[in-house]
Amino acid sequence: MTDDNLYHAFAAHFPAPGTEFLRTATGDVYSYGDLDALSGRLARHLSRLGLAPGDRLTLQADKSPAALWLYLACLRAGVVFHPLNPAYTPAEVDYFVGDAEPAIMRAEPRLVGAWLKLAAAFGT
């Protein structure tokens, strides 16, 4: 049987777990082992939240290691990752969320007020 999971295809080519994967502008360093552990923890959390393969998760957030871990967690869980630019207007977000019909929406804390109005409009 073929494993069509994109995360597993990536992971098959990861170097040793202690190898540096990412160094941020603030000096934080993450290894491939960190990438695997953090994305795995988030993938399990998505499953506990009830997301199933094919469900959509919308994220409106700045680029960050946390956003990357969530993307990789979605790959692991088979969840469709639907990223939105944090600069989108409420009307743009409304359109994209309405079109995607995500099972879960997540946003930067500074955007939560607009998202609460959006969630109310969609009845979630």
CA–CA distance, 39 with 42 (Å, rounded to integer): 5
Q: Report the sign of the C-alpha dihedral through residues 82, 86, 87, 93, in that order.
A: positive
pLDDT value, residue 3:
66
pLDDT value, residue 119:
66
CA–CA distance, 71 with 42 (Å, rounded to integer): 10
61-84 residue pLDDT tens: 999 999 999 999 999 999 999 999
CATH number of 6-122: 3.40.50.980
- Look up residue 103 and give its two tokens: 């099972």
Strands of 56-60's sheet, edge to edge? 80-84, 56-60, 104-107
Q: What does the domain layout of the chain look like in residue ranges?
A: 6-122
For 110, which DSSP code? G
In the chain, which residues have pLDDT < 50?
A: 1
